[in-house]
Chain A
Amino acid sequence: MKNSDSITYKPSPKAAWANGRKLLAVGIILIACVCGWFMMELEILGVRVLVPYFGSAVYVVTGSVIGVFLLSLSVGYMLGGWLSGKINAWSALGAAMMTTGAWLCAIPFFAEPVCDMIFNIGLDEKWGSLLASLVLFGAPTVLLGTVSPTVMHWLTTQASDSGFNAGLVLATSTIASFAGCVVTAFYLVLCSLRMTLCTSGVVLAVLGAMVLLSAAMQAKKNPRGDSNGKQQ
């Protein structure tokens, strides 16, 4: 996958390659969408996880859960942007998705001990729920936050495209977040919380494993190649 003239890239001479890359571009945007969906699903389920331990006071929902998600996303965006120039985009995405999936599967098992411990050291519904939210949902949200900048970086082959690509990724992944929001709040609320978290975790981990595997195969085929499609 050599692309020596990517800065002045024109699709006509290498049509096959361009089509392959187009397909990959759709794929990587879909990954951003999947992560956007699960980010919002986790946020809504997060409220359900915390309420039995810290009550349904307004601090728990608006302060702790939404606050922690925003903070973690900003850390994730920064981290993703910084990492995107250093490591292979596809392996970074695969690793982030797999780790987040595993974390989601684990939440039902450590939510109770974590929340009980935080409540028992005497923290109230404000700071207690904030800390619990950070411990339970901080790490997976940071990882999901790294996805968008990584995808934007991969999509951008010339500087003048960067704004369009950033807009495209943000728009599509936010639409997916909206869908995740509605489906979780309207329909998944009828299902078991543990089952929903575990199933989502497994789906995310399997997708992540597939991305990771394809990245590894690509690297084997083309050891010196940069799957970002850019010159280093």
Chain B
Amino acid sequence: MKNRMHKTILILMFCMAPFGIAMAASRQQQLGQVIHKKSSLYNSIFVYKDGSIVSLKFGKRATLNLQSQVDLNDPRRHMLEYTTMTFCGLFYKPQPQRMLVLGLGGGVIPREMHHHFPQLQIDVAEIDPDIPPVAARFLGFHEDEKLKVHVDDGRMFIKKQLRCNPVPKYDMIILDAFNGDYIPFHLMTKEFLQEVKGVLADDGVVIANVFYTNRLFDAEFKTFLSVFGRSQAFFGAVSGNAMLVSPGPACPILTEQEAVEHAQQLQQKHNLSFDLIEVAQMLRPDVHPDRRAKVLTDDVAPVNWLREQETKKFSSDIP
């Protein structure tokens, strides 16, 4: 009798196994169907579609980060937390005239900035020539005379700007040149940030999208402090993203209270499609880099190794 029960359980388990596998597979497939794939010089570009939701990924592995996600029925909806977080630069510079974004991806950040600030002149530098057509075809990104994409390495683009006479000065510079897996070291070093400082207006602000969950965060934070003197961090509430914000010499740093006040004013004035006050509440003035962290330079920058050394958990995981 007992033996028979064992057999029944075993048979049941065998019958259930395919469902388990199917469920695991569906977890991976929740981005929907692959509607476009392309091996470019720099990335394996995958575009997924599930209903009206389009996702952009570089590579197919389930653990890879999403580059971008858009709801085609509601283009104002921010699907990923970090794109709203980049708007924190507005607390420091509420009326930017000129903006530079390094790294296009799906183009959500420049597109939304362009929507809410139609007078803003935006330059985007993207190294991969195959990304802008994908963003235009599948993710609703469009260039115009106020929003231009330059196919160039971010550091080279800034070097070329520095050679112009007069040197253009940006009020807001967003550093977002991540690939899902690999981080280009030359866009994180002290020498690079000094070049960035060269094209930043005195009252401008630099916003870097980083992850606070590994040791690279501390090294980055320290490198920003070494170049700009002052730097503040915004920690994502539901993601591991952090914004490192470094104001120019004529731009103030903020308390939590001031950030929230600025957010309330901006929210009313520009009728933003998301809650900017929530972003303001992510400011963490108490966060400082680990004392042992070292400034990254062109000479020593083990960025991909540091990124593998995990330190903290997501703040939403902390009870």
How far, in angstroms, from A99 to B160 measured CA to CA in the complex?
A: 36
Chain A nearest CB: distance from B132 CB in Å? 16
Shortest CB distance A37–B (Å): 21
Instruction: List residues of chain B with CB within 8 A of the CB of A189.
Output: 302, 305
Interface of chain A, helix or strand or loop or mixed?
A: helix
**Min CB gap B278→A, angstroms:** 35
CB–CB A56/B300 < 8 A: no
Q: Complex formed: what's the CA distance from A135 to B286 in Å?
A: 49
Residue-wise interface mask of A (118-130) relative to B, using a CB-CB cutoff of 8 A (1 in contact, 0 not): 0110000100000
**Chain B residue contacts of A191, Cβ below 8 A:** 300
A56 touches B127 (CB 8 A): yes
Chain B residue numbers with a CB within 8 Å of A57 are 127, 152-153, 156
Among the stretches A18-26, A47-55, A152-160, A209-217, the one at the interface with B is A47-55
Q: Tell me whether A52 and B42 are in contact in the complex, defined as CB-CB below 8 angstroms, given that A57-B153, A57-B156, A125-B156 are known contacts.
A: no
Task: Compute how far the CA of A169 lies from the CA of B298 in the bound complex, rounded to whole angstroms.
Answer: 36
Taken residue by residue from 46 to 90, chain A's Cβ proximity to chain B (1 for < 8 Å, 0 otherwise) reads as 001001101111100000000000000000000000000000000
Residue from B163, B300, B305 in contact with A193 in the complex, judged by beta carbons closer than 8 Å = B300
A119 and B153 in contact (CB under 8 A), knowing A52-B192, A190-B302, A193-B299?
A: no
Indicate whether A56 sits within 8 Å of B153 (C-beta atoms), given known contacts A51-B186, A193-B298: yes
**B186 and A55: CB pair below 8 A?**
yes
Identity of the chain B residue whose Cβ is nearest the Cβ of A120 in the assembled complex:
B163
Given A190-B302, A193-B300, A52–B153 Cβ distance below 8 Å?
no
Q: Is B41 an interface residue (CB 8 A)?
A: yes
B-facing residues in A178-199 (Cβ within 8 Å) = 189-194
Distance between Cα atoms of A7 and B186 in the complex (Å): 57
Taking a contact as CB atoms under 8 Å apart, the answer to whether A58 and B302 are in contact is: no
Closest B residue to A122 using CB positions = B163
Pick from A55, A192, A194: contact of B155, CB below 8 A: A55
CA distance A58 to B298 in the complex (A): 19
Judged by a CB distance under 8 angstroms, whether B86 is at the interface is no
- B152 near A55 with CB under 8 A, answer yes
Asked if B191 is at the interface of the complex by the 8 Å CB criterion, the answer is: yes
Query: From residue B77, how far is it (CB to closest CB) to chain A in Å?
Result: 33
Return the CB mask of B302-317 against A: 1 if under 8 Å, else 0.
1001000000000000
| A58-B159 Cα distance, complex, nearest whole Å | 18
Q: Does B184 contact A (CB under 8 A)?
A: yes
Whether B42 and A58, one on each chain, are in contact in the complex, defined by CB atoms closer than 8 angstroms, is yes
Question: How many residues on B have C-beta within 8 angstroms of the other chain's C-beta atoms?
Answer: 21
Taking a contact as CB atoms under 8 Å apart, the answer to whether B127 and A190 are in contact is: no
The answer to whether A54 and B156 have CB atoms under 8 Å apart is yes
Please provide the chain A residues from 23 to 55 with a CB less than 8 Å away from any CB of chain B in the complex: 48, 51-52, 54-55
Are A52 and B300 within 8 A (Cβ)? no
Size category of the A interface is: 10 to 19
Instruction: Given A55-B156, A56-B127, A125-B153, check contact A192 B42 (CB 8 Å).
Output: no
Residues on the B chain within 8 Å of A192, using CB: 299-300
A-chain residues with CB within 8 Å of residue B69 when the two chains form the complex: none
- Evaluate contact between A190 and B305: CB separation under 8 angstroms: yes
- Bits for B167-199, please: 1 = Cβ < 8 Å to A, else 0: 000000000000000001110010110000000
Q: Say whether B305 contacts A52, CB under 8 Å.
A: no
Report the bound CA distance from A189 to B301 in whole Å.
8
Chain A: minimal CB distance from B160 (Å)? 9
Q: Are A52 and B191 in contact, CB atoms less than 8 angstroms apart?
A: yes
Considering only residues 123-154 of chain B, those with a C-beta below 8 Å from chain A are 127, 152-154
Which listed residue, A56, A120, A190, A194, touches B186 by the CB 8 Å rule? A56
Contact A194 B156 (CB under 8 A): no
| Residues of chain A from 100 to 120 with CB closer than 8 A to chain B in the complex | 119-120
Q: Are B127 and A52 in contact (CB under 8 A)?
A: no
B259 → chain A closest CB, angstroms: 34
Complex Cα–Cα for A133 and B44 (A): 28
**Complex: A56 Cα to B127 Cα, angstroms:** 9
Contacts of A190 in B (CB 8 A): 302, 305
Question: Which residues from chain B sit less than 8 Å from chain A, CB to CB?
Answer: 41-42, 127, 152-156, 159, 163, 184-186, 189, 191-192, 298-300, 302, 305
